[in-house]
Amino acid sequence: MAHHAYRVGELTMTPIRQIIDLRSDTVTRPTAAMWDAMRSAPLGDDVLGDDPTVARLEETIANRLGKESALFTPSGTMANQIAIRCHTQPGDELICHSESHIIHYETGGPAALSGCSIRSLTGVDGLFDADAVDASARPESIHAPRSALVEVENTHNRAGGTIWPIDQFARVAEAAHAHGLAVHLDGARLFNACVAAGYDPSSFASHADTVSVCFSKGLGAPVGSALCGRRDLISRARRFRKMFGGGMRQSGILAAACLHALDHHVARLTDDHANARRLSRALSNINGLSLTHKSEQTPTNMVFFDLKATPSDAAPARTLCTQLAALGVLMLPTSAVRVRAVTHLDVSAESIDSAAFAVRESLLSPIPQPSSR
């Protein structure tokens, strides 16, 4: 951008001097207070079972979610895959929404690590109902895979950060248990859902046999997730964490950041949700794009919008993101025509206004496409 101010309505837009990174809420940096907590954390060897800070985190998150025990893992993907391995045997089938994270972003883990196939369901906003579970649970047969697990994602990433109603999840879990199936909750952004919907994390998690939560997304820790469930199941999970290469040593330095996040970064998620609505409102006034959720219906901290492909540009989302990067704004193309922007604690309301203005500038002055000759 040129080094002068721009006026848009009542906003005066100044040049972007620092990168505004909206690709994901995983890009956050530790706050000064979080660094202090990390530096002062007492440490041990967690594989040998004597890191006191990890033990405190596992006890804290288990209590917060109303579960008997918890396991600290390097990532949400590992937590999900350990849960699948705990609940299934090779040849089993798990049931989940067709747009689930475990299908699209976990590199075929259910097949590679647990030998499981997936039966996918459809439903608006990443949700499905108990009837879908009833219709998908297979009867015992030597010819078919054995239905073993139902997985639910809250908030739902690819649907735009949508929230599961607690009553709907309770019905789905009840149907699954009636068929003898376990229930796993991929709660990578569960605290976003709880803050936005006003329900308690343990109330929602009570319907699931296992729950994964991520500390390195909206909560702002640099690394780490947890898997929570019954004590015997988490003991089994600890073995699989070691098998999958997830055993860590002086990981209390990471666990301290997660504890700090649980103490200080949950209530402030409302700021991220407000900034997502602010971005949606600003984008709604820009010609050439369409929001997947109306501005005031933006569920949590994710904003998705679509662009129209043309004969000269079949992948306008990538084109736009390239142009935005040149202006100091980072967003993520999730398909040829769809762009994702995620708000987080490192993005201010003023940065949101600048990002929206950059989108407007980019759509007015698109990057020239290379000749096909």
Helix, strand, or coil here: 95?
strand
Mean pLDDT, the chain, whole residue set: 93
What's the pLDDT score for residue 142?
Answer: 95
For residue 96 the two structure tokens come to: 């989940």
Same domain, 251 and 292: no
What's the pLDDT score for residue 38?
Answer: 98
> Beta strand 225-229 with 69-73: parallel, antiparallel or unpaired?
antiparallel
What's the pLDDT score for residue 15?
Answer: 53
Number of domains in the chain: 2
* Beta carbons of 151 and 85 less than 8 angstroms apart: no
* 135 located within any domain: yes
Same domain, 253 and 312: no
Same domain, 112 and 153: yes
Asked whether residue 2 carries a pLDDT value surpassing 60, the answer given is no
- Its sign, for the CA torsion 272, 273, 275, 280, is positive
What's the pLDDT score for residue 296?
Answer: 81
Asked whether residue 10 carries a pLDDT value surpassing 80, the answer given is no
* Beta carbons of 205 and 66 less than 8 angstroms apart: yes
Last residue of a domain, which of 231, 249, 264?
264
User: Whole-angstrom Cα distance, residue 32 to residue 343?
Assistant: 20
Same domain, 255 and 345: no
Stretch 113-137: mean pLDDT, rounded?
Answer: 98
**231-290 residue pLDDT tens:** 999 999 999 999 999 999 999 999 999 999 999 999 999 999 999 999 999 999 999 999
* 1 located within any domain: no
* 70 located within any domain: yes
Same domain, 237 and 290: no
User: Whole-angstrom Cα distance, residue 238 to residue 212?
Assistant: 14
Asked whether residue 7 carries a pLDDT value surpassing 50, the answer given is no
- Within the chain, strands assigned E span 6-8, 11-13, 20-21, 69-73, 92-97, 117-121, 146-153, 182-187, 210-214, 225-229, 289-291, 302-307, 329-330, 332-333, 338-342
Same domain, 63 and 158: yes
Residue range(s) defining the domain that contains residue 83? 32-264
User: Whole-angstrom Cα distance, residue 25 to residue 4?
Assistant: 30
Asked whether residue 6 carries a pLDDT value surpassing 80, the answer given is no
* Beta carbons of 354 and 330 less than 8 angstroms apart: no
**178-194 residue pLDDT tens:** 999 999 999 999 999 99
Same domain, 125 and 207: yes
Same domain, 357 and 307: yes
What's the pLDDT score for residue 365?
Answer: 73
* 27 located within any domain: no
For residue 21 the two structure tokens come to: 């990174």
User: Whole-angstrom Cα distance, residue 245 to residue 26?
Assistant: 22
Asked whether residue 1 carries a pLDDT value surpassing 50, the answer given is no
Q: For residue 6, which amino acid is it? A: Y
* 79 located within any domain: yes
Last residue of a domain, which of 232, 264, 296?
264
7 forms beta bridges with 12
Provide φ and ψ at 263, rounded to 5°: -80, -30
Stretch 166-185: mean pLDDT, rounded?
Answer: 98
Q: Name every residue whose Cβ is closer than 8 Å to that of residue 176 and which is 6 or more positions away in sequence.
A: 95, 133, 137, 150, 182, 183
* 370 located within any domain: no
What's the pLDDT score for residue 17?
Answer: 66
CATH of the domain at 192: 3.40.640.10
pLDDT tier, 16 (very low <50, low <70, confident <90, very high otherwise): low
What's the pLDDT score for residue 11?
Answer: 43
User: Whole-angstrom Cα distance, residue 82 to residue 350?
Assistant: 40
* 302 located within any domain: yes
DSSP letter assigned to residue 369? P
Same domain, 109 and 180: yes
Same domain, 286 and 324: yes
Asked whether residue 295 carries a pLDDT value surpassing 80, the answer given is no
What's the pLDDT score for residue 9?
Answer: 41
CATH of the domain at 326: 3.90.1150.10
**342-359 residue pLDDT tens:** 999 999 999 999 999 999
Same domain, 240 and 277: no
What's the pLDDT score for residue 345?
Answer: 97
Same domain, 353 and 282: yes
* 259 located within any domain: yes
Helix, strand, or coil here: 61?
helix
Which H, E and C letters describe 167-188, residue by residue?
A: HHHHHHHHHHHHCCCEEEEEEC
User: Whole-angstrom Cα distance, residue 62 to residue 176?
Assistant: 23
